[in-house]
Amino acid sequence: MTLSIDNLRKKLAKYCAWQDRCTFEAERKLAELGASKTEMAKTLKWLKDENFLNDARFASSFARGKFVNNKWGKQRIIAELRSRKIEDAFITTAIEEINQKDYAETLKNLALKKWKELKTVDSYSKKQKTAAFLVNKGYEADLVFNILDKIVQ
């Protein structure tokens, strides 16, 4: 049984209102609900017209949330946004909204915390493990090794 356009709109409006969503996520949800290509296009247009769906807003809130709450670096945020098919212009704007001072401070704090957690006494090994952790979180390698050089001194 397929849902009517009105029911699709109601379900997706609720889905998008609960948390910011991007077009890619809304398309996936519509596919789950069994919407046809035509129903999908009409519903997506309506969601955008009614401002339930806004990829620029999504990119900004996603980047802000992942940086503040999960302490992700810019590279990981960019990769995640690209996997959701967000336009590069929206990604660039979202990344630029991250405060550079806060970014550097977060990186430093993460590096210090990881450094202290590691039990190994070998400084080289400790540095490599800390760097791998930070790069995996999405921080740029040059910034990571720059901060680690200051910590290791």
What pLDDT is attached to residue 4? Answer: 84
User: Could you give the C-alpha distances from 55 to 6, 20, 39, in angstroms and in order?
Assistant: 23, 9, 20
Pair 148, 115 in one domain: yes
Number of domains into which the chain is organized: 3
pLDDT in tens, 105-141: 999 999 999 999 998 878 889 999 999 999 999 999 9
Pair 104, 76 in one domain: no
What pLDDT is attached to residue 107? Answer: 97
Query: pTM for this structure?
Result: 0.90
Pair 38, 68 in one domain: no
pLDDT in tens, 70-107: 999 999 999 999 999 999 999 999 999 999 999 999 99
Please name the residue that has the structure tokens 């290509």. 37
Domain holding 144, by residue range, is: 100-152
| Closest-CA residue to 21 (of 68, 75, 62) | 62
CB 99, CB 67: distance < 8 Å:
no
| Closest-CA residue to 148 (of 126, 127, 118, 129) | 127
